[in-house]
Amino acid sequence: MINISRARPDQSSEVNEKLLLRVLKYHPDTGRFTLRYGYRMGGVQLSPKAGDRVGKEDEMGIRHIRLFAIRYPEHTLAWFYAHGAWPRNGLRHLDGDLSNNRIENLEEIIKQK
């Protein structure tokens, strides 16, 4: 089993797509991430369990997921999960709801010159 809060990916400080897909499942219909694997100790199922939602909301209502000791905004991981690349200049929630991380609600911010 994988401890997403303490383990570190080999030779990298950032998550790659393969690792993200292995640890978390993105639900495009809700914009939420769930854990693919649960934790067991001595045959006892501990929390969090496989299928549990991951992350924690901050005081502004933005949900963050700690993955391999790095804290990521949930909407950024959703973008990376769907597109295979990090957004260059940040993301905008089209409906203004910072908890709505469905991919169709996210738009990459384009810098204007």
Question: Kind of pairing, strands 32-35 and 39-41?
Answer: unpaired
CATH code at position 28: 3.90.75.20
| Spatial contact of 39 and 46, defined as CB atoms under 8 Å apart | yes
Q: In a 10 Å sphere around its CB, with 0-12 CB exposed, 13-18 middle and 19+ buried, how is residue 110 labelled?
A: exposed
Q: Which structural domain, as residue segments, surrounds residue 63?
A: 17-108
- Predicted confidence at residue 46, as pLDDT, reads 57
Q: Assess if residue 42 is contained within a domain.
A: yes
Q: Assess if residue 9 is contained within a domain.
A: no
Q: Assess if residue 34 is contained within a domain.
A: yes
pLDDT > 70 in the chain, percent: 76
Q: Assess if residue 1 is contained within a domain.
A: no
Give this prediction's pTM: 0.76
Q: What tens digit of pLDDT does each residue of 61-93 get?
A: 899 998 777 889 999 999 998 998 889 889 999
Q: Assess if residue 4 is contained within a domain.
A: no
Q: Assess if residue 8 is contained within a domain.
A: no
How many distinct structural domains can be found in the chain? Answer: 1
Dig out the tokens for 75 from the structure. Answer: 């909407």
